[in-house]
Amino acid sequence: MARLSRGEVIDPSEVSIVHVINRTVRRCFLFGDDPISGKNFDHRKVWIEELLEHFSACFGIDLLCFAILSNHYHLILRSRPDVVASWDDSEVARRWLLICPLRKVDGKPAVPTEPELNSIRNCPVKLAEARQRLSNISWWMRLLNQRIAQRANRQEEEMGRFWQDRFRAIRIIDEESLMACAAYVDLNPIRAGLAETIEASDHTSVQRRIETRQQLAAASQDTSVETNSTVSQSDSALPTLTPEQRRDRFLAQLTIDEAKDPTGPVASQTSFRCSDKGFLSISTDAYFELLDWTARQLRPDKPGSTPADAPPVLKRLGLGKPAWLALVASFEELFCHLAGRCDRIDAERSYRTGRRFRVRPSARKLLTSAA
């Protein structure tokens, strides 16, 4: 079956959540211990995280989850053209020049000068182009992959392809699939045998979120010691972390309360991410518990050991334990272009030709039995 063009699946002018995957050429371990060359390339995972932080601060795209393994990486991205539309011309020019700088200082993008800003904001064509690209997931991936490949090739004094193929993209169209995809991404190191627990899963979004929770817990203990003589402590007195201190500062907020949270773009109040809008109707603690429970079921040394009661979120989403575990274990194999319930995928049409999207038989069987 011929691959659909990206424009059939993703409309850059709409808010879209997309799971993207990219693999190194011939699946060589160019981000970890390479058995062929005997070299270790773990430091390249740090490069990618640094680029993800920089892109999250500049693009009009939310980074929901990520996992970086030895020969591939996973991201869940949410394009935010609505947030980009709220930026003035100077902000658009500034952000684009931080992504594609004209000058660098100590290897980092230099703060754009007024003449450099004018080169974009005084040219309607360049300005419209930059505004469109800032919320375009394909441009995020193009620049991310380009910079990783160029830096790795320079380091190894090599030429030629670094990536196996163009990145794969699966648009996510409902909450059930987003929840399963987030778990699939965050649990990738455990499934690959690189970690045993979610807190030990290096170079993942869940590890960053857990580290922030540990920071808050440590700050809470310090505060309780200092205020031990105080009878009670109000909520306003509880410890907080500045955005700069948070290990997950560049990640999208996890929890969303559609009944109480503000509507609209909700542009971020910090300089580290695009927006302050969450993406799952579940608390951070409940998400950690769900991942921990799921990881225990996926571990090969504990086949069929199922706890007496499943996390409440599964019941709320209408997913039984077998269906949930199958989704998390085989998300990439179950879905092709769109991820969602069968009726939702059947109702979708491609943007350019209006053709229907194919639902793989394994996904249809699994989701039909779970309904």
| Residue-level pLDDT, tens digit, the chain, 371 residues | 456 788 888 998 999 999 999 999 987 899 998 888 888 999 999 999 999 999 999 999 999 999 999 999 999 999 999 999 999 999 999 999 999 999 999 888 999 999 999 999 999 999 999 999 999 999 999 999 999 999 999 998 888 899 998 899 999 999 999 999 999 999 999 888 888 889 989 999 999 999 998 888 887 776 554 444 333 333 344 457 888 999 999 999 999 988 888 888 999 999 999 999 999 999 998 999 899 888 887 655 543 333 344 444 455 455 667 778 888 888 888 898 899 888 889 899 888 888 889 888 988 888 776 65
Beta bridge pairs of residue 24:
163
Q: Which residues contact 208 (CB under 8 A, 6 or more apart)?
A: 247, 248, 251
Taking the CA atoms of 124, 130, 131 and 132 in sequence, report the sign of the dihedral they define: positive
Question: Quick one: pLDDT at residue 300?
Answer: 56
Contact call for residues 329 and 190 (beta carbons, < 8 A)? no
In a domain, 213, yes or no: yes
In a domain, 92, yes or no: no
Q: Which residues contact 272 (CB under 8 A, 6 or more apart)?
A: 53, 56, 57, 243, 249, 250
Question: Quick one: pLDDT at residue 310?
Answer: 42
Q: Taking the C-alpha atoms of 27, 30, 36 and 37 in order, what is their torsion angle to the nearest 10 degrees?
A: 160
Beta bridge pairs of residue 62:
78
Total domains in the chain come to: 1
Q: What is the CA radius of gyration of the chain?
A: 22
In a domain, 156, yes or no: yes
Beta bridge pairs of residue 78:
17, 62
> What CATH code is carried by the domain that includes residue 341?
3.30.70.1290
In a domain, 76, yes or no: yes
Within 13 Å, how many C-alpha atoms sit on residue 41's CB side? 26
Q: Which residues contact 192 (CB under 8 A, 6 or more apart)?
A: 69, 70
CB atoms within 10 A of CB 296: 15
Question: Quick one: pLDDT at residue 222?
Answer: 65
In a domain, 281, yes or no: yes
Structural domain boundaries enclosing 165: 7-80+135-223+244-370
Orientation angle between helical segments 89-99 and 43-58, nearest 10 degrees: 170
Within 13 Å, how many C-alpha atoms sit on residue 340's CB side? 18
In a domain, 162, yes or no: yes
In a domain, 306, yes or no: yes
